[in-house]
Amino acid sequence: MREREFWQLLDEVLGHSYGRSIAHDQVLTQLDDMTVVEALAAGVEPRVVWNVLCDQLEIPDSKRWGKDHNAPPLPAK
């Protein structure tokens, strides 16, 4: 997942205004208490940030990937 895709998915799943607010304000406890914006700026893989955010907000798998419901592949190690 590219960062551009992350933001598109955030807008689709949470709505533009609410999603952007969450991205700046929601502390992600699994990512050293960084916000979404901070985690992405620190180089955390967007797919990891997305999964952590969705887990924390309790967004079910059936909704977290948007209308196509296809999870992008895991990042290569």
pLDDT digits (tens, 9 = 90+) for 23-61: 999 999 999 999 999 999 999 999 999 999 999 999 988
**pLDDT band at residue 68, thresholds of 50, 70 and 90?**
low
The span from the CA of 68 to the CA of 77, in Å, is: 26
Task: Note the pLDDT of residue 4.
Answer: 94
Query: Which carries the bigger pLDDT value, residue 6 or residue 71?
Result: 6
Beta-strand runs (E) in 1-77: none
pTM for the model stands at 0.84
CB contact at 8 A, 52 and 28: yes
